[in-house]
Chain A
Amino acid sequence: MKFRQWSPVLGLNQMWAIAVNSFREAVRSRIFYILMAFTVVMVLFSVVMSLLTVGSRSKIVIDLGLTVISFLSVMTAVFVGIGLVYQEVEKKTIYNVLSKPISRARFILGRYLGLMGVLFVNVLAMILLLAGLLLIFGGFTTGIFEAAGFIYLELAIITAIAVFFSSITSPVVSAICTIAFYIVGHTSNALTQLLAPDLSSEFGKGFVTFLYHVLPDLNILNVTDLIAYKIPIAEGFTEKALIYTAAYVVILLTASCMAFRHRDLV
């Protein structure tokens, strides 16, 4: 029995079962459909917006489309992710799961993978819609699929942050903290660009630079602007972005597992 519990195949099967369950649960949530419907409307609206411009029609459809997909997918990750663990605890359904030979870490990882599956479907559907619009109205570029890949990397980090906060606190606090991280992730470059030059002490400058490197830099994963101008992504950047994202996700999920392991569920 002990052997069965530690088998990696069994562990993967357990995680897969939780992930599939989380996927179904997330797909059934109302917030998911509301945000998805809103994304569809906004992507379609980008075509209407492009009618108001003088020149750059396809650029505006790409900019607006990718921004809406990115932002609303993040909102989906936040609002679905924050309840992933907490609701299980609140509804006490977690006791049924954890009474089986499933570790808390596998539970967290399964939940995370389930949500990532939902977000994959979400981003894929939206990017196909945008691609269809660009094919109809002109300006199609395969770069939008590259941009979608980078949006998904950002979502991987955001979801990990949401899962981390969901495993230690209530949904409202989780939402606030995750959105705060999202804002920090997109504004952290201001630390070195705007704050550091105004600091007189070397220690202050060093600390600000350290903070900049430690905080998740979500902005660096945003390649929408490059795609709109068909500028190729630098060689080696994609690989580094994958490593960067994977490292952050592992850090956050490890922290989530550790926090959840020590959590008193009674």
Chain B
Amino acid sequence: MQRVKTILGLLVIAGLFAVVVPVHRDMRALTKTYPGDYQAYFIPSSGYMKVMSLGYRNFWADLLYLWTLQYYDYYNMKVRYTYLHHTFEVITDLDPKFREAYIMGALFAFINKDWKLLYQMEDKGIEKNPKDYIIPYDAGCYALFSEKNYTRAIHYFRIALRRNPDQPFLKDLLANAYRYRGDLKTSLNYWQEMYKQYKGQDNYKANYYKMAAARHIWKIRNELNEQQIKAALEAYHKKYGRNPQTLADLVGAGFMDAIPQDPAGNPYSYDSWTGKVTCTSQFNIKAAFGQW
């Protein structure tokens, strides 16, 4: 009798599971018919979260961050960016030193092309982490490569370089930002500084940056020379209404003290008909760095 009761009990349990599983499957299917954007989430204010975290602020910041990574990975939400600022504000209020949260928050803002929010988050990270150079570097890269706001890029790369003066790629980026903004002389100074930093060293990193610096120094010196000659040519044309026969005429007319040579030491080619000045030399990596 006891055995029968046990078997009956097991049968009832198995029977109920046979009901529960398909019903649950149907319920799951029904929930998928709801509109995707109804799942607007609610995260309380930072002040409330700080109190309710019971002192485990990093723990809650981590959980919220992990959840956020999964949430923002889902592209079909209409409300995807509505709470982006608030969410990352709470995470970084709970854990102001959470570098990756600033960087990922900025990335999501970038995907939404919300520059204001992007720099707002990066600025907060820069302020709360006064020794960190990755956050200003990250912000500078957005400004330089995506927004093409070179003044802003310079601002961020300068902060990053101040925090880590030995990092050559920061000098490289800052020099490039100055060059794109048109400030060739400052850019040249940074490249020269980098060249000096690695002069006399012979290893992979030193050779790489020396070569990059030498190539940029060559290019910028050439651009500066061309700018100088073009300015003199324009002044000559303005005064005489025609182009000079040769570049030496610019010296004779008092527009230049001397005609500069290109960085390879060759004279510039000049077409008096079009007034075009061209550099015929090219930067020779092998000549400068051998077979490296």
Q: Is B56 an interface residue (CB 8 A)?
A: yes
**How many angstroms between the C-alpha atoms of A63 and B98 in the bound complex?**
12
Q: Is B150 an interface residue (CB 8 A)?
A: no
Provide the main secondary structure of the chain A interface.
helix
A67/B59 in contact, CB under 8 A = yes
* Known A-B contacts A71-B56, A224-B56; A52 and B98 likewise in contact (beta carbons under 8 Å): no
A55/B99 in contact, CB under 8 A = yes
Task: Pick the residue among B47, B66, B97, B100 that contacts A194 (CB under 8 A).
Answer: B47
Q: Is A225 an interface residue (CB 8 A)?
A: yes
A186/B58 in contact, CB under 8 A = no
B69/A52 in contact, CB under 8 A = yes
**Smallest beta-carbon distance B224→chain A, Å:** 41
Name the residue in B51, B57, B62, B100 with the highest tally of chain A Cβ atoms < 10 Å from its Cβ: B62
A55/B103 in contact, CB under 8 A = yes
**How many angstroms between the C-alpha atoms of A52 and B70 in the bound complex?**
8
**How many angstroms between the C-alpha atoms of A224 and B62 in the bound complex?**
13
Q: Is B104 an interface residue (CB 8 A)?
A: yes
Chain A residues in 8 Å Cβ range of B58: 59, 63, 67, 224-225, 228
Chain B residues in 8 Å Cβ range of A53: 62, 65-66, 69, 100
Q: Can you list, as one digit per residue, whether each of B91-117 has a CB less than 8 Å from chain A (1) or not (0)?
A: 000010111100110000000000000
Q: Can you list, as one digit per residue, whether each of A60-85 has a CB less than 8 Å from chain B (1) or not (0)?
A: 10011001001100000000000000
**Smallest beta-carbon distance B93→chain A, Å:** 13
Q: Is A234 an interface residue (CB 8 A)?
A: no
Q: Is A183 an interface residue (CB 8 A)?
A: yes
Name the residue in B50, B56, B65 with the highest tally of chain A Cβ atoms < 10 Å from its Cβ: B56
**Smallest beta-carbon distance B231→chain A, Å:** 49
**How many angstroms between the C-alpha atoms of A260 and B97 in the bound complex?**
47
Chain A residues in 8 Å Cβ range of B62: 49, 53, 56, 59-60, 63-64
Task: Pick the residue among B50, B59, B95 that contacts A64 (CB under 8 A).
Answer: B59
* Known A-B contacts A53-B66, A56-B99; A219 and B55 likewise in contact (beta carbons under 8 Å): yes
A67/B56 in contact, CB under 8 A = yes
Task: Pick the residue among B55, B66, B97 that contacts A222 (CB under 8 A).
Answer: B55
Name the residue in A56, A63, A218, A229 with the highest tally of chain B Cβ atoms < 10 Å from its Cβ: A63
Number of interface residues of A (CB under 8 A): 26
**Smallest beta-carbon distance A112→chain B, Å:** 24
Across the interface, name the chain A residue whose C-beta is closest to B69: A54
**Smallest beta-carbon distance A262→chain B, Å:** 34
Task: Pick the residue among B54, B66, B98, B103 that contacts A183 (CB under 8 A).
Answer: B54
Chain B residues in 8 Å Cβ range of A183: 54
Q: Is A187 an interface residue (CB 8 A)?
A: yes
**How many angstroms between the C-alpha atoms of A205 and B215 in the bound complex?**
67
* Known A-B contacts A52-B70, A224-B56, A228-B58; A194 and B51 likewise in contact (beta carbons under 8 Å): yes
Q: Is A190 an interface residue (CB 8 A)?
A: yes
Task: Pick the residue among A54, A70, A190 that contacts B56 (CB under 8 A).
Answer: A70
A54/B98 in contact, CB under 8 A = no
B51/A187 in contact, CB under 8 A = yes
**How many angstroms between the C-alpha atoms of A56 and B97 in the bound complex?**
11
Across the interface, name the chain A residue whose C-beta is closest to B103: A55
B59/A56 in contact, CB under 8 A = no
Chain A residues in 8 Å Cβ range of B51: 187, 190, 194
Across the interface, name the chain B residue whose C-beta is closest to A182: B54
A222/B100 in contact, CB under 8 A = no
Across the interface, name the chain B residue whose C-beta is closest to A154: B55
* Known A-B contacts A60-B66, A190-B51; A222 and B56 likewise in contact (beta carbons under 8 Å): yes
**How many angstroms between the C-alpha atoms of A100 and B224 in the bound complex?**
100
**Smallest beta-carbon distance B128→chain A, Å:** 12
Q: Can you list, as one digit per residue, whether each of A205-245 has a CB less than 8 Å from chain B (1) or not (0)?
A: 00000000000001100101100110000000000000000
Task: Please provide the 9 A-B residue pairs with the shortest distance between their CB atoms, ordered closest to farther.
Answer: A55-B100, A186-B54, A67-B59, A219-B55, A222-B55, A63-B58, A190-B51, A186-B55, A67-B56
Chosen A-B contacts, 18 in total, with CB atoms closer than 8 Å, are: A49-B62, A53-B62, A53-B69, A54-B104, A55-B100, A55-B104, A56-B98, A56-B99, A59-B58, A59-B62, A63-B58, A67-B58, A70-B56, A190-B50, A219-B54, A219-B55, A222-B56, A224-B56
